């Protein structure tokens, strides 16, 4: 099996964020994925999530 694509890394990070991940995808991530790609995508997703929350709150207030 080859290295996970960027789309697969993003899907894995989003699935991990909400707590759902198939056994096959989790196994693929641990066996063939690189830690740095998951850290970068996770950091970007976290920043986007925080910015979304800040934007929503600023519109409400």
How much is the average pLDDT of 41-54? 96
d(CA 2, CA 27): 13
What is the three-class DSSP state of 31?
A: helix
Q: Is 22 left (phi over 0), alpha (psi -120 to 50) or beta?
A: beta
The per-residue pLDDT for range 7-33, each reduced to its tens digit, is 999 999 999 889 888 888 888 888 888
Token representation of residue 61: 């207030």
Domain ranges of the chain: 6-60
pLDDT confidence of 51, banded at 50, 70, 90? Answer: very high
Per-residue confidence (pLDDT) for residue 1, from 0 to 100: 66
Q: Are 1 and 31 in contact (CB under 8 A)?
A: yes
pTM for this prediction = 0.80
Average pLDDT, the chain: 91
d(CA 11, CA 18): 11
């Amino acid at each position: 099996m080859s290295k996970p694509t960027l789309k697969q890394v993003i899907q894995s990070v989003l699935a991990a964020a909400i707590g759902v991940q198939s056994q096959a995808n989790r196994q693929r991530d641990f066996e063939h994925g690189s830690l740095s790609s998951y850290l970068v995508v996770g950091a970007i997703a976290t920043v986007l999530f925080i910015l979304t929350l800040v934007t929503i709150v600023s519109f409400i207030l």
